[in-house]
C-alpha cells in the first residue's frame, strides 16, 4: 500500500492506493479519512482490485478548503482527482457523507462508472420526529436567549454543548469553514437524485445503524433502479470498521458478478 500526495486547485490532497486491476474508488464519511479503510482496502486489493481512498479536503491529511463547500463542490473535487489519476470506468463506493458525493457523481457522470456501492449512505431527510421538533424549539429559544450583545459571546460554546447533547458531534467537532460546510451539506436533500441513478447499485446497511437508520436503506432500494440491498446483522454505521471481512465478502460478490 502506498500513500501519495497531489495538488488540486492549490489544495494539498492525500490518498492511499493498494493493489492492481480494475479500480475501486472509496469515498469516506464525515469525520473519517483513508486511515479507517485500510483493513478493507488490504482485503480487496489482494483480490485483484486497485483500491484508491482519498482524504476529502478538510479531513485526514488533506488541506481544508479556503471556502465553504457543498456536496457539489466535493463532487467537482472528485472529478479533478480522477482526471489527475487518469481514472475512467471504475467502481465507486460511498460511505455516509461519501455516499452523498457518490450519489451526486452517479447522476452527473454515469458513463464513468462500472457500478455503484452505497454503504450506510447519508443524503435524504425524513419527516421530523417529535424529538426533532422539540430540539428545533429548543434551538429557537436558545437563539433568542443569546441574541443580546451581552450574551453573544457565549453563543458558540452553548451551541457546541447543545449539539453534543443531541449527539450531533460532527457539528460540535467542526471548526471554522468546516462548521459552515457541514451545515451546507446537511441542508441538501438528495432524495430526488436517487431515481436519476441508472448505474447498477448495491446498497449495504448496518442493521443497528443509529446515525442513518436502516429504514432509509429501504427508501434507497425503492428509489434506485436496478438496486440490490444487503443488510448486515448486528452491525452499526461503520461496517468497514466493525466487520471488514464480511463487508469485503459482500462487495467482492457484487464486483465479480
Domains of the chain are 2-125+189-255 (3.40.50.1820), 130-183 (no CATH)
The 3-state DSSP class for residue 243 equals coil
Question: What pLDDT score does 126 carry?
Answer: 66
Question: What pLDDT score does 226 carry?
Answer: 86
Query: Band of the pLDDT at 125, cuts 50, 70, 90?
Result: confident
- Rounded to whole angstroms, the Cα distance separating 180 from 70 reads 9
DSSP 120: S
Q: Is the pLDDT of residue 24 over 60?
A: yes
User: What count of other Cβ atoms lies within 10 Å of the Cβ of residue 201?
Assistant: 25
For the residues 166-187, what does the mean pLDDT come to? 72
- Quick: pLDDT tens for 210-255: 999 999 999 999 999 989 999 999 999 999 999 999 999 999 999 9
Nearest to 235 by CA among 222, 224, 250: 250
Query: Band of the pLDDT at 115, cuts 50, 70, 90?
Result: very high
For the residues 34-42, what does the mean pLDDT come to? 98
Q: Is the pLDDT of residue 138 over 90?
A: no
Amino acid at each position: 500500500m502506498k500513500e501519495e500526495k497531489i495538488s488540486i486547485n492549490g489544495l494539498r490532497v492525500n490518498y492511499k492506493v493498494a493493489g492492481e486491476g480494475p479500480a475501486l474508488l472509496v469515498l469516506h464519511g464525515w469525520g473519517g479519512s483513508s486511515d479507517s479503510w485500510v483493513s478493507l482496502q488490504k482485503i480487496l486489493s489482494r483480490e485483484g482490485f486497485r483500491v484508491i481512498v482519498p482524504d476529502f479536503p478538510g479531513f485526514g491529511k488533506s488541506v481544508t478548503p479556503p471556502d465553504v463547500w457543498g456536496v457539489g463542490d466535493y463532487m467537482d473535487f472528485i472529478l479533478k482527482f480522477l482526471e489527475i489519476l487518469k481514472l475512467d470506468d471504475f467502481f465507486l463506493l460511498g460511505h455516509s457523507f461519501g455516499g452523498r458525493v457518490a450519489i451526486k457523481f452517479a447522476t452527473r457522470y454515469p458513463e464513468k462508472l462500472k457500478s455503484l456501492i452505497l454503504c450506510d449512505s447519508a443524503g435524504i431527510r425524513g419527516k421530523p420526529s417529535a424529538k426533532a421538533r422539540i430540539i428545533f424549539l429548543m434551538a429557537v429559544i436558545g437563539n433568542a436567549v443569546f441574541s443580546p450583545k451581552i450574551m453573544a459571546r457565549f453563543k458558540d460554546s452553548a451551541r457546541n454543548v447543545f449539539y453534543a447533547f443531541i449527539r450531533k458531534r460532527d457539528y460540535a467537532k467542526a471548526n471554522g469553514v468546516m462548521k459552515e460546510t457541514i451545515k451546507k451539506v446537511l441542508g441538501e436533500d438528495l432524495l430526488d437524485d436517487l431515481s436519476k441513478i441508472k448505474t447498477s447499485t448495491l446498497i449495504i446497511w448496518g442493521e443497528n445503524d443509529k446515525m442513518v437508520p436502516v429504514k432509509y436503506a429501504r427508501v434507497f432500494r425503492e428509489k434506485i433502479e436496478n438496486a440490490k440491498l444487503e443488510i448486515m446483522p448486528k452491525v452499526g454505521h461503520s461496517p468497514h470498521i466493525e466487520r471488514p471481512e464480511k463487508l469485503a465478502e459482500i462487495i467482492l460478490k457484487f464486483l465479480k458478478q
